[in-house]
Amino acid sequence: MKEQILSVSSGNGTAENRKPIRRSVPVASIVTYIVLFIYTVVLFAPFVIILFESFTGDVEIGSRPSFYLFPHEWTTEGYEVIFMLDPNAVNGVPSLLIGFFNTMWQTLIPLVGGLLTSAFSAYIFSKFRFPGKKVLFMATVLTMMLPMGAFGFVSYLFYMKLGWVGDAGVLPIIIPGLFGGAGTVFFLRSYFDSALSNEVLEAAKIDGAGSFRIFFGMVLPLAKPALIAQFLFGFVGGYNSYSTALLYLYPNKNMWTLQLALAELVSMVSQDGSGYANAQCASALLAMLPLILLYVFVQKYFIEGINIGGGKE
């Protein structure tokens, strides 16, 4: 632990006249803190900028010769535009609120359903032996490797044939997710292989517990860390997803998700791209805030999730 991995200032000198245990060089640590400080500023300055901009009046923004951080006159005009004058409001309910609510259920239903399906499949792949298992698993892993992202928009042809567009446009967002994902299966299977002891499962089996009871009573609770990681990253992905909602939900304002509502609100209020900059900034901040708050409370699980490999597939 004492040894530095990338020693900034220790490139000179030979090792003979050094002791194995060194004190850290002050210059190096000052440089380190300066770099980290600069990176922090670069990352968070945009948030600060749009936070102040969101409290600046539209007239002030329009009339000032160039940008300055602190508004001369603080105003909540931007937030009022979002909540009182929202052109996309349905029955007086602002679209961002509708979007938040829709995002919640449209994300959680396929996410939780899909996790259960994937976990069940992974459990079978991990703890049962049956003919054709290897072929089946290989096929599953192969589908996980295919980069299907390119077909996001042309899948519309298929869902249109099914009639899952227009008022039923929420179905392409919910139903496929319920079948689980190959990536999750792959990740959970290797987790089960290492974290679930066969002896415990066998004991339960001999005690007469059925496969489903073992799954819900033992497998799922034991897989909690892995499931939490998958859940959190799935939730972030669902919360932030935009293009699918744009494709299938656009005609139906009642079903808009938060990101779709945000994008539409911004393009409505800005008209030529410059009007109501305060409302644009306010809506972007409000859209990011719930997830950042969630993250602050459970950040430990995010970092752990990445470290056990649950973040990306």
Find the binding residues for another protein in span 68-97 (CB under 8 A). 68-69
Which CB sits closer to another protein, 13 or 92? 13
Q: Which long-range contacts (CB under 8 A, 24 or more apart) does 140-148 make?
A: 140/182, 140/185, 140/186, 141/182, 141/186, 143/182, 144/181, 144/182, 144/183, 144/185, 144/186, 144/313
Q: Which parts of 228-257 interact with another protein (CB under 8 A)?
A: 236, 239-240, 242-243, 247
| Cα distances (Å, whole numbers) of residue 273 to 123, 238, 266, 277 | 51, 27, 9, 8
146 forms part of the interface with another protein (CB under 8 A): yes
Task: Single out the residue of 161, 207, 271, 297 in contact with another protein (rule: CB under 8 A).
Answer: 161
Residue 218 Cα distances to 118, 125, 170, angstroms: 16, 16, 34
Footprint (CB under 8 A) of another protein, residues 22-61: 24, 28-29, 32-33, 35-36, 39-40, 42-47, 49-50, 53, 61
111, 234 in Cβ contact below 8 A?
yes
- Give the nearer residue to another protein in terms of CB position, either 19 or 92: 19
CB 178 within 8 A of CB 113: yes
Least separation, in Å, of the C-beta of 101 and another protein? 16
CB environment 140-165: b (16+ within 10 A), e (fewer):
beeeeeeeeeeeeeeeeeebeeeebb
Q: How far is the CB of 223 from another protein (least distance, A)?
A: 16
Strand partners, 56: 74
Residue 23 DSSP class: P
| 129 contributes a contact to another protein by CB under 8 A | yes
Nearer to another protein, 85 or 146 (CB): 146
Is-contact 278 266, C-beta < 8 A? no
Which residue, 250, 93, 125, is CA-closest to 191? 125
Nearest CA to 253 among 242, 244, 264, 243?
264
188 binds another protein (CB under 8 A): no
Q: Is 111 in the site for another protein (CB under 8 A)?
A: no
Q: Note whether 151 binds another protein by CB under 8 A.
A: yes
The C-alpha atoms of residue 214 and residue 144 are separated, in whole angstroms, by 27
- Answer for which of 102, 107, 126, 230 binds another protein (CB under 8 A) is 126
The residue count for binding another protein (CB under 8 A) is: 129
Least distance to another protein from the beta carbon of 80, Å? 18
Stretch that binds another protein, among 72-80, 82-90, 216-224, 303-311 (CB under 8 A): 303-311
Task: Pick the binder of another protein from 26, 92, 221, 273 (CB under 8 A).
Answer: 273
Among 97, 108, 175, 268, binds another protein (CB under 8 A): 175
The smaller minimum CB distance to another protein, of residues 72 and 148, is found at: 148
